[in-house]
């Protein structure tokens, strides 16, 4: 894949589409409906925009088969992701934002700063490879740190897991998780999994117990720690 180099700035709407497609499908395909739901845009408008993006050489769109990014489209999406996640880290580390506040702020700022600013930001922050929510920050050349993670909703009773990444962006959910110290790096033991309701109950090292509904548990990506806890 091409590196994330200099190119003519894309419009905010084009950037948002590319980033949404990457976040939904990576190098694979996503449906028009999926993009519509992600961006809260009418399906007809999505179809028209995808036609425009295809004409720009940024996506491949096959009606009824989905949409994927071209090599150039993927490079542009990763550039935006890098910028967004570095901005989030800066807002928390230097401006005192809470981790539940930074997503919307970074969404606005990512379209307003240059590639040069982005790289100066990376240097200031010490070239981090993850943002405050545990999401990998693409390198300047577009590479990503490999991940071997599973959703908390897919673990078994007795498993020891460490939170690696939070996929939620809404402030309310992030405030809840942060308030209960359910953040990247936290070690947890799975106490109960209710198959019907999808509730996963976990216990921290401080013996605090947290029942999590299926949508929230699915958004928490974890690494399995070595061994299993005592039953």
For residue 129, the SS3 value is: coil
pLDDT recorded at residue 198: 86
Residue keyed to tokens 């948002």: 16
Please state the rounded mean pLDDT for residues 178-188: 96
Give phi and psi for 65, each to the nearest 5.
-120, -10
For residue 53, the SS3 value is: helix
Residue keyed to tokens 């990763």: 78
Please state the rounded mean pLDDT for residues 170-177: 94
Position with higher pLDDT, 43 vs 231: 43
Kindly compute the dihedral angle of the four CA atoms of residues 124, 175, 18, 52, in this order, to the nearest 10 degrees: -130
The percentage of the chain sitting over the pLDDT mark of 90, rounded to a whole number, equals 85
What would the pLDDT profile of 10-44 be if each residue is shown by its tens digit?
A: 899 999 999 999 999 988 999 999 999 999 999 99
Residue keyed to tokens 């939070």: 166
Residues in the chain: 231
pLDDT recorded at residue 227: 54
Please state the rounded mean pLDDT for residues 123-147: 93
pLDDT recorded at residue 9: 74
Mean pLDDT (the chain) is: 91
Nearest to residue 192, comparing CAs of 159, 151, 226, 228?
A: 159
What would the pLDDT profile of 68-124 be if each residue is shown by its tens digit?
A: 999 999 999 999 999 999 999 999 999 999 999 999 999 999 999 999 999 999 999
Strands (E) located in the chain: 59-62, 66-69, 150-151, 159-166, 187-193, 200-204, 209-212, 220-228
Answer yes or no: is pLDDT of 8 > 80. no
Considering just the CA atoms, what is the radius of gyration of the chain in Å? 19
Structure tokens at 206: 């401080």
What would the pLDDT profile of 153-166 be if each residue is shown by its tens digit?
A: 999 999 999 999 99
Which band of pLDDT confidence, cut at 50, 70 and 90, is reported for residue 4?
very low
Which band of pLDDT confidence, cut at 50, 70 and 90, is reported for residue 151?
very high
What DSSP string runs through 80-127?
A: HHHHHHHHHHHHHHHH---TTTHHHHHHHHTTTS-HHHHHHHHHHTT-
pLDDT recorded at residue 179: 95
Q: Give the list of residues 6+ apart from residue 166 with CB closer than 8 angstroms, or none.
A: 133, 134, 174, 177, 183, 184, 219, 220, 221
Give phi and psi for 196, each to the nearest 5.
-70, -50
- Do 18 and 69 touch, CB atoms closer than 8 A? yes
User: Which residue ranges form the domains of the chain, and what is each CATH number?
Assistant: 1-145 (1.10.10.10), 150-228 (2.30.30.90)
């Amino acid at each position: 894949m091409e590196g994330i180099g200099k190119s003519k700035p894309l419009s905010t709407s084009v950037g948002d589409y590319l980033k949404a497609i990457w976040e939904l499908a990576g190098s694979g395909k996503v449906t028009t409906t999926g993009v519509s739901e992600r961006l809260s845009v009418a399906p007809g408008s999505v179809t028209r925009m995808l036609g425009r993006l295809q004409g720009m050489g940024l996506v491949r769109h096959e009606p009824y088969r989905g949409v994927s990014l071209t090599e150039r489209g993927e490079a542009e999406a990763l550039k935006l992701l890098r910028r967004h996640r570095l901005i989030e880290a800066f807002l928390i580390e230097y401006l005192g934002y809470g981790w539940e506040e930074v997503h919307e702020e970074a969404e606005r700022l990512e379209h307003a700063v240059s590639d040069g600013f982005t790289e100066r930001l990376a240097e200031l922050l010490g070239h981090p490879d993850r943002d405050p929510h545990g999401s990998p920050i693409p390198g300047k050349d577009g590479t990503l740190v490999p991940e071997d993670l599973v959703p908390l909703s897919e673990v078994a009773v007795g498993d020891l897991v460490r939170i690696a990444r939070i996929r939620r962006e809404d402030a309310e959910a992030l405030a809840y998780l942060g308030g209960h110290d359910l953040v990247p790096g936290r070690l947890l033991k799975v106490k109960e999994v209710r198959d019907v309701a999808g509730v996963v109950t976990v216990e921290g090292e401080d013996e605090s117990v947290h029942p999590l509904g299926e949508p929230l548990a699915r958004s928490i990506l974890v690494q399995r720690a070595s061994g299993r806890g005592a039953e």
